[in-house]
Amino acid sequence: MISTDRAVPSYRLAPNYRPFVMPALIVVCAVIIFPWAFTVWMSANDWTLGQARTFVGAENYINLALDARFWESLWHTIYYTALAVILPLFLGTIAALIFDEQFPLRGFLRGVFVMPMMATPVAIALVWTMMFHPQLGILNYFLSLVGIEAQGWIYDQATVIPSLVIVEVWQWTPLVMLIVLGGLAAVPREPYESAEIDGANGWQKFRYLTLPMIGPFLMIAVIIRTIDALKSFDIIYAMTQGGPGTASETINIYLYNVAFSYYNIGYASAMAIIFFILIVILSFVLLIVRQCTVWSQAGDGK
Amino acid sequence: MASVRIVNAKKNFGAVKVIRGVDIDIADGEFVVLVGPSGCGKSTLLRMIAGLEEVSGGEIYIGQREVSHLRARDRDIAMVFQNYALYPHMTVSDNMGFALKLKKAGEQEMNDKVARAASILGLENLLERLPRQLSGGQRQRVAMGRAIVRDPQVFLFDEPLSNLDAKLRVQMRGEIRALHRRIGTTTIYVTHDQVEAMTMADKIVVLHDGLVEQIGTPLELYDRPDNLFVAGFIGSPAMNFIDGRIENGEFKAIGGLALPLPEGLPAGKFAGVELVYGIRPEHIRAKADGIQGTVDLVEGTGSEVYAKLDCQGQAIYCLFRERIQIEYQQSLCIGLDPSLVHIFDKATGKRVVV
Ligand SMILES: Nc1ncnc2c1ncn2[C@@H]1O[C@H](COP(=O)(O)OP(=O)(O)OP(=O)(O)O)[C@@H](O)[C@H]1O
Ligand SMILES: [Mg+2]
């Protein structure tokens, strides 16, 4: 019998696979680990671009805690995010419930409805800035038709954040709708018949069946929207640059200003790190909440 | 509790006539089983009674009330679905208590009723589970529990046992009957399993192609089937059907086999009419001077022997309850009791009255 033993002859070295991991490792270090480590390091320095750098330890963080403008921008961020999550969630769910029904031209209308999602932020900003214009904008014209006085929209400190949120809602409600539509498609039909027999009316069926069954999908929408809204920069920057005054300055805008208008890299790095920690904590909270809404094997994403 | 009356009920899905005029009277507290082959419209009829399917014609009464056009939630019925239709996101106890919650029943009342139903059904240890964490049989019991806590006028069951294994099915069959004896609620029970129908029913309704073939007690259907369909459907193994005519006071099968006729049959009246001769396999005995045949097939289960005989080209199935020694291809003589023979008119399928 011919031997088919193909074991590695003992005089060869045992294979070493480490080199194969190196490229990936290098890339990860270069684009993830290094920037982060560098940011942390920068945040421990007083460093304005073009000037001398001095190590200051935690001083940037202490200054941050005492910086009223930082706290204000944090509040703006929370305000903006809360509105930009809740409104699209609410409207998107209603839209999904409507588009879940059968009616003529459904596919076409759904396509139209989804379009804002595909537009470029800067173009959107341009169009909405014009629409918001107090004298020339079409929104005030519509208000005048129904007898409401003209608003300052993004040019008024009191209304600038809600106005920006209107743009956000317009653009991202369709995304929530798509997610919730997916959820509705996964909802089984039979329980509705049981509920009918158990004596549930339309509202009760929605409250006790539909809502909990699409719960996991709503939570996905909340997570995506929250992260998106927290990071939101382009539309705000293109429309108001954080103004009027600092009325719409979110952390992102403030961070940008500190880093690229004042070139205060150390301080900006400290802010970035605090912001990052906040996002991570919030994401964990949302993930935990999401776990509680899970009712089916399919929904738990494991 | 209430009686149920269905008068000339019809249901069309577009052009398809699924229920074509059904009349059923169900007394208060009765356990009625709807049987029929798959696709005959049993579920549809049940859903019409429940109010999940709009009727296309006719009336349905629950008690004195006409409910034909009432919504399901106003009919005060409870239903166990073929696929259970539990609320997937609710625990067992929430599933069972849901109807009470909708009725704004108090916490105390709800807990009491759920606990009582759970103890009747042996679900006490599963109350906090979700449906997906239950076995098929447990889910089925939760579906029953959901019906029981309601205390409805009528129970509707749609093949609740079809997903269970044979042993559990027999056990649940008994439990459902016991439950009915205990609470006495009018029950309409759908199945395509005729053993279930025979063992559980006060009254059986045989449905075929959207029409009622016969209504009667299990034994009535067994002893005096009205037509060929019922004769073939009720009883297992199925009845032997032999085509032929009456000649000289005897039944002559197509192949020439002569069979004894029941007494009192006005043989002259049927001379020349094409008939079907029906005899149940269990009503055939081995008999030394009987009809001679060759054994084509033997299956023994220990308690009984099932055999197929070839009698002059005519296949006859026999079921012997005593243990007899027969071999493949051996010759065997059988006798049949003429009083247990059923004669049907081949053209109409109707029983020829004896
Ligand atoms: N929504 C519907 N649209 C069109 N036809 C339907 C609809 N529902 C049922 N049918 C038809 O009605 C007939 C009866 O269906 P049904 O579900 O009542 O049968 P069944 O007796 O319960 O059968 P099974 O024993 O398989 O459950 C079938 O031929 C089915 O194809
Ligand atoms: Mg069915």
Do B60 and B164 belong to one domain?
A: yes
Any domain includes A22: no
The answer to whether residues B37 and B184 belong to one domain is: yes
Neighbours of B125 (CB within 10 A): 9
Residue A267, domain member (yes or no): yes
Q: Could you report the per-residue pLDDT of A171-204, keeping only the tens digit for each?
A: 999 999 999 999 999 888 889 999 999 988 889 9
What integer pLDDT is reported at residue A300 of this predicted model? 42
Picking from A149-153, A195-199, B62-66, B77-81, which range would have the lowest pLDDT averaged per residue?
Answer: A149-153
Residue of chain B nearest A212, judged by CA positions:
B89
Same domain, B68 and B89: yes
Q: What is the ipTM of this complex?
A: 0.80
**Are B260 and B337 in a shared domain?**
yes
CATH number, position B272: 2.40.50.140
Q: CB under 8 Å to B125, separation ≥6 — which residues? A: none
Answer whether residue B353 is part of any domain.
Answer: no
Which of B218, B233, B248 terminates a domain? The answer is B233
What is residue A298's predicted lDDT score, i.e. its pLDDT?
45
Confidence label for A101 from pLDDT (cuts 50, 70 and 90): confident
B128 with B244, same domain: the answer is no
Q: Do B206 and B264 fall within a single domain?
A: no
Is pLDDT of B153 > 70? yes
Residue B54 and residue B146 share a domain: yes
Residue B34 has pLDDT above 90, yes or no: yes
Report which protein residue has its CA nearest ligand 1's atom 28.
B39
Nearest neighbour of A199 by CB, restricted to B85, B103, B132: B103
* pLDDT one-digit tens code per residue, A242-280: 878 888 899 999 999 888 888 888 888 999 999 999 888
Chain A residue numbers with beta carbons less than 8 Å from the beta carbon of B88 are: 188, 191, 213, 295-296
Residue-number span of the structural domain to which B185 is assigned: 4-233
- Domain count within chain B: 2
In a domain, A54, yes or no: no
Determine, yes or no, domain membership for A27.
Answer: no
- Domain membership flag for residue B337: yes
Q: Is residue A14 part of a domain?
A: no
CB of B139 less than 8 A from some CB of A:
no
Per-residue model confidence as pLDDT tens digits over A12-71: 777 888 888 899 999 999 898 898 898 888 888 888 877 878 888 888 888 888 888 999
- Whether A42 is covered by a domain: the verdict is no
* Whether B72 and B213 share a structural domain: yes
For the four alpha carbons of A219, A222, A223 and A224, in that order, the dihedral sign comes to positive
Phi-psi region of B292 (alpha: psi -120 to 50; beta: other; left: phi over 0): beta
For chain B, what percent of residues have pLDDT higher than 70? 99
Q: Report how far residue B121's alpha carbon sits from residue A130's, in angstroms, rounded to the nearest whole number.
A: 68
Q: In CATH, what number is assigned to the domain containing residue B139?
A: 3.40.50.300
- The whole-number pLDDT of residue A297 equals 53
| CATH number, domain containing residue A212 | 1.10.3720.10
CA distance B49 to B190: 12
Q: Which of B211, B233, B255 is the last residue of a domain?
A: B233
Contact residues, chain B, for A213 at CB < 8 Å: 88-89
Residue B117 lies in a domain: yes
Confirm whether B352 is domain-assigned: no
pLDDT digits (tens, 9 = 90+) for B154-197: 999 998 888 778 888 888 888 889 889 988 899 999 998 888 89
Protein residue closest via CA to atom 17 of ligand 1: B43
Tell me the per-residue pLDDT of A219-237, one tens digit each, with 9 for 90 and over: 989 989 998 898 888 889 9
Whether residue A73 is contained in a domain is answered as yes
Where among B176, B198, B233 does a domain terminate?
A: B233
Chain A contact set for B83 (CB, 8 A): 190
Residues B253 and B289 in one domain: yes
Max alpha carbon distance in chain A (Å)?
A: 100
pLDDT for A288 beyond 90? no
Confidence of residue A296 (pLDDT cuts 50, 70, 90): low
Give the three-class secondary structure for B134.
Answer: coil
A84 dihedral zone (left: phi>0; alpha: psi -120 to 50; beta): alpha
Q: Give residue A204's domain range.
A: 68-300
Would B324 be classed as within a structural domain?
A: yes
- Residue B354: is its pLDDT beyond 70? no
Work out which ligand 1 atom sits closest to the CA atom of B44: 18
Structural domain includes residue B29: yes
Atom 31 in ligand 1: residue holding the nearest Cα:
B39
Q: Is B336 left (phi over 0), alpha (psi -120 to 50) or beta?
A: beta
Whether residue A296 lies within 8 A of chain B, CB to CB, comes out as yes
A187, A198, A208, A290: which to substitute to probe chain B, counting the most B Cβ within 10 Å?
A198
On average, the pLDDT of chain A sits at 86
| pLDDT over 60 at A299, yes or no | no
Q: Is B187 in the pocket of ligand 1 (CB under 6 A)?
A: no
Task: Name the closest ligand to CA B42.
Answer: 1
Same domain flag for B207 and B291: no
**Residue to mutate, B35, B40, B48, B54, ligand 1, most ligand atoms under 8 Å from C-beta:** B40
Same domain? For B215 and B308 the reply is no
Number of domains in chain A: 1
pLDDT in tens, B281-302: 999 998 888 889 999 999 988 8
Residue at B351 is within a domain: no
- Residue B217 in this model has a pLDDT that exceeds 90: yes
Rounded to whole angstroms, how far apart are CA atoms A170 and A151?
19
Q: Do B307 and B188 share a domain, yes or no?
A: no
HEC secondary structure over chain A: CCCCCCCCCCCCCCCCCHHHHHHHHHHHHHHHHHHHHHHHHHHCEEEECCCCEEECCCHHHHHHHHCHHHHHHHHHHHHHHHHHHHHHHHHHHHHHHHHHCCCCCHHHHHHHHHHHHHCCHHHHHHHHHHHHCCCCCHHHHHHHHCCCCCCCHHHCCCCHHHHHHHHHHHHHHHHHHHHHHHHHHHCCCHHHHHHHHHCCCHHHHHHHHHHHHHHHHHHHHHHHHHHHHHHCCHHHHHHCCCCCCCCCCCHHHHHHHHHHCCCEHHHHHHHHHHHHHHHHHHHHHHHHHHHHHCCCCHHHCC
Q: Above 50 in pLDDT, residue B30?
A: yes
B16 lines ligand 1 (CB under 6 A): yes
Q: Is the pLDDT of residue A7 over 70?
A: no
Eight-class DSSP state of B195: H
B354 inside domain: no
Place of tokens 């069979």: B259
The reply to whether A2 falls in a domain is no
Closest-approaching ligand to the CA atom of B210: 1
